[in-house]
Amino acid sequence: MTKNRFITLTIATAMALLLPHTAISRSTRIDVPVMIKAYPEGDACGSGEIVGLNPKGDGFLSVRSGPGGSQYTEIDRLYNGDQVYICGDKGPWQAIVYSPDRALSATCGVTKNWSTDQAYTGPCRQGWIHSRYLKATAG
Protein backbone atom coordinates (compact mmCIF):
# COMPACT_ATOMS: atom_id res chain seq x y z
CA MET A 1 0.00 0.00 0.00
CA THR A 2 1.37 3.37 -0.96
CA LYS A 3 1.76 6.13 1.58
CA ASN A 4 -0.84 8.34 -0.19
CA ARG A 5 -3.41 5.50 -0.27
CA PHE A 6 -2.83 4.83 3.44
CA ILE A 7 -3.36 8.51 4.30
CA THR A 8 -6.53 8.65 2.18
CA LEU A 9 -7.98 5.55 3.87
CA THR A 10 -7.07 6.87 7.31
CA ILE A 11 -8.79 10.21 6.66
CA ALA A 12 -11.88 8.52 5.18
CA THR A 13 -12.17 6.22 8.20
CA ALA A 14 -11.77 9.09 10.65
CA MET A 15 -14.44 11.14 8.86
CA ALA A 16 -16.89 8.22 8.88
CA LEU A 17 -16.41 7.77 12.62
CA LEU A 18 -16.92 11.47 13.31
CA LEU A 19 -20.18 11.85 11.36
CA PRO A 20 -23.32 12.11 13.50
CA HIS A 21 -25.73 9.18 13.38
CA THR A 22 -28.32 11.28 11.52
CA ALA A 23 -25.91 11.56 8.59
CA ILE A 24 -26.01 7.80 8.07
CA SER A 25 -28.20 6.93 5.13
CA ARG A 26 -31.61 5.46 5.94
CA SER A 27 -33.77 3.29 3.70
CA THR A 28 -36.02 5.42 1.52
CA ARG A 29 -38.30 2.59 0.43
CA ILE A 30 -41.90 3.76 0.50
CA ASP A 31 -44.50 1.07 1.23
CA VAL A 32 -47.46 3.42 0.69
CA PRO A 33 -46.61 6.17 -1.79
CA VAL A 34 -47.64 9.76 -1.17
CA MET A 35 -50.36 10.50 -3.71
CA ILE A 36 -50.59 13.99 -5.13
CA LYS A 37 -54.18 14.93 -5.96
CA ALA A 38 -55.16 17.00 -8.96
CA TYR A 39 -56.35 20.44 -7.90
CA PRO A 40 -56.72 22.46 -11.11
CA GLU A 41 -57.36 25.68 -9.20
CA GLY A 42 -54.81 25.51 -6.39
CA ASP A 43 -51.59 24.09 -5.03
CA ALA A 44 -51.27 20.32 -4.94
CA CYS A 45 -50.19 20.35 -1.27
CA GLY A 46 -50.51 22.66 1.72
CA SER A 47 -47.66 23.46 4.07
CA GLY A 48 -46.98 22.74 7.70
CA GLU A 49 -44.44 22.81 10.50
CA ILE A 50 -43.33 20.13 12.95
CA VAL A 51 -44.29 21.20 16.51
CA GLY A 52 -44.75 19.83 20.01
CA LEU A 53 -41.84 17.39 20.17
CA ASN A 54 -40.36 17.06 23.65
CA PRO A 55 -36.71 18.18 23.49
CA LYS A 56 -36.08 16.32 26.75
CA GLY A 57 -37.45 13.11 25.22
CA ASP A 58 -36.12 11.66 22.00
CA GLY A 59 -36.80 15.04 20.32
CA PHE A 60 -37.63 13.71 16.86
CA LEU A 61 -40.62 12.62 14.82
CA SER A 62 -40.25 9.45 12.77
CA VAL A 63 -41.07 9.66 9.09
CA ARG A 64 -42.53 6.28 8.16
CA SER A 65 -42.86 4.38 4.89
CA GLY A 66 -46.64 4.13 5.34
CA PRO A 67 -49.55 5.53 7.38
CA GLY A 68 -49.07 3.72 10.65
CA GLY A 69 -46.75 3.06 13.54
CA SER A 70 -44.08 0.40 13.90
CA GLN A 71 -45.52 -1.83 11.15
CA TYR A 72 -43.91 0.63 8.72
CA THR A 73 -40.19 1.35 8.55
CA GLU A 74 -38.72 4.58 9.91
CA ILE A 75 -37.14 6.19 6.87
CA ASP A 76 -36.14 9.57 8.30
CA ARG A 77 -36.52 11.90 11.28
CA LEU A 78 -37.92 15.41 11.58
CA TYR A 79 -37.49 17.97 14.37
CA ASN A 80 -39.40 20.95 15.81
CA GLY A 81 -39.43 23.78 13.28
CA ASP A 82 -38.90 21.58 10.21
CA GLN A 83 -41.21 22.57 7.35
CA VAL A 84 -43.08 20.09 5.17
CA TYR A 85 -45.72 19.95 2.47
CA ILE A 86 -48.95 18.20 3.49
CA CYS A 87 -50.30 16.24 0.55
CA GLY A 88 -52.96 13.97 2.01
CA ASP A 89 -54.00 11.91 4.99
CA LYS A 90 -55.15 8.51 6.09
CA GLY A 91 -56.74 8.74 9.52
CA PRO A 92 -54.34 10.55 11.84
CA TRP A 93 -51.41 9.99 9.45
CA GLN A 94 -50.30 12.75 7.08
CA ALA A 95 -48.66 12.18 3.70
CA ILE A 96 -45.79 14.64 3.41
CA VAL A 97 -43.16 15.84 0.97
CA TYR A 98 -40.12 17.79 2.21
CA SER A 99 -36.77 19.04 1.02
CA PRO A 100 -33.52 17.61 2.38
CA ASP A 101 -32.84 20.88 4.24
CA ARG A 102 -36.32 20.74 5.87
CA ALA A 103 -37.42 24.12 4.46
CA LEU A 104 -40.22 24.75 1.98
CA SER A 105 -38.83 24.65 -1.54
CA ALA A 106 -40.50 25.10 -4.91
CA THR A 107 -38.10 22.49 -6.30
CA CYS A 108 -40.27 19.80 -4.66
CA GLY A 109 -42.86 20.53 -7.35
CA VAL A 110 -45.96 20.46 -5.13
CA THR A 111 -46.62 24.20 -5.00
CA LYS A 112 -48.32 24.15 -8.39
CA ASN A 113 -51.52 22.49 -9.53
CA TRP A 114 -51.39 18.97 -10.95
CA SER A 115 -53.60 17.84 -13.80
CA THR A 116 -53.92 14.19 -12.69
CA ASP A 117 -53.72 12.22 -9.44
CA GLN A 118 -50.39 10.40 -9.19
CA ALA A 119 -47.75 9.10 -6.81
CA TYR A 120 -45.05 11.61 -5.89
CA THR A 121 -41.80 10.90 -7.75
CA GLY A 122 -40.12 14.31 -7.47
CA PRO A 123 -36.68 15.21 -6.23
CA CYS A 124 -37.67 15.75 -2.57
CA ARG A 125 -38.25 13.26 0.23
CA GLN A 126 -41.64 11.79 1.08
CA GLY A 127 -43.25 9.76 3.82
CA TRP A 128 -45.89 9.62 6.54
CA ILE A 129 -46.02 11.31 9.95
CA HIS A 130 -48.53 11.45 12.78
CA SER A 131 -50.71 14.56 12.70
CA ARG A 132 -50.28 15.18 16.45
CA TYR A 133 -46.95 16.91 15.74
CA LEU A 134 -47.94 18.85 12.63
CA LYS A 135 -49.33 22.38 12.49
CA ALA A 136 -50.78 23.42 9.13
CA THR A 137 -49.45 26.82 8.07
CA ALA A 138 -51.09 27.19 4.62
CA GLY A 139 -53.42 25.32 2.32
pTM equals 0.78
Q: Tell me: the pLDDT tens digits for 98-135? A: 999 999 999 999 988 888 899 999 999 999 999 999 99
- Kindly state the DSSP code that residue 21 receives in the 8-state scheme: G
The Cα 48–Cα 135 span in angstroms is 5
Alpha helices, DSSP H, located in the chain: 3-18
Nearest CA to 131 out of 56, 48, 70, 66 is that of 48
Q: Tell me: the pLDDT tens digits for 2-26? A: 655 544 444 444 444 343 333 333 4
